[in-house]
Structure 1
């Protein structure tokens, strides 16, 4: 079944994210295209570290969420599944409040691995973090 853009976003936000970390962190998928997926997360006390700044782990959770879902756009769910196997993050700027946006774009989409670059930006386009995620594409058992 081929889903249009709105159906994909509704599916990510409602069906797949319910009762998961994405729901806990208020991650919402906002845009999808042929070679990208975008999600947003509010920055508030739920995602702060003790000093009142955005926690790097919350940023990485956002990056892995958007990168993993992006790989899911390119597989046959009847026969394959996605698992993240490595993520790296460079945190470049701190943030206390507002919204951050994660945009995942492919660097490599092979048969068995996908490599994604995920840029995390603030409301005015400042780069907050730069992440890379490697996903393995597995045959379902």
Structure 2
């Protein structure tokens, strides 16, 4: 892809063949306020104990924050890479659809910081997530 995606449809097409697409992330909205996405829980999202695998939750949150970063890159930047992430898991789910909302906390020239909240099918928060991304510039 020569140009970076900007709409939900473009992000959903962009991720085909990669982890978010393979695991079923669906971007619902992306705008100046942030990114909204969802994921229908399937058996392959579970840990062996039968609960939602923490990595599934982190993948959803990190994807939303990353797509938000792409959508808000400074002019002339060529991309980004995650340099730190943290998640606090407060609950779980075993079925249904989980959702994520990612919002920018800092949009600098060289770094972005994004926060995400992941909610279970009942709307209760199951995870809080924060990541820092380094903006990449052409050499």
The TM-score, its normalising length taken from structure 2, stands at: 0.90
Shift of 1:140: 2.6
> Aligned-residue CA RMSD in angstroms?
1.4
Q: Which residue number in structure 1 is paired with residue 56 of structure 2?
A: 58
**Matched residues, number:** 134
Q: Which residue number in structure 2 is paired with residue 115 of structure 1?
A: 113
Q: Which residue number in structure 2 is paired with residue 87 of structure 1?
A: 85
The TM-score, its normalising length taken from structure 1, stands at: 0.89
1:46 is paired with a residue of what secondary structure? Answer: helix
**For 1:50-83, what per-residue CA distance to the aligned partner results, in whole angstroms no more than 9, with x for missing partners?**
0111000111011111101100111257542111
Query: Residues of 1 paired with 2:122 and 2:94: CA distance?
Result: 14
In structure 1, list runs of 5 or more residues that go unmatched: 1-6
Matching of residue 12 in structure 1 with residue 11 in structure 2: yes
Q: Which residue number in structure 2 is paired with residue 138 of structure 1?
A: 136
Query: Residues of 2 paired with 1:101 and 1:86: CA distance?
Result: 22
After TM superposition, what 4+ stretches of structure 1 lie above 2 angstroms from structure 2?
A: 76-80
Contact 1:113 1:136 in 2 (8 A): yes
Out of 25, 29, 49, the residue aligned to residue 31 of structure 1 is 29
In structure 2, list runs of 5 or more residues that go unmatched: 1-5
1:120 is paired with a residue of what secondary structure? Answer: strand
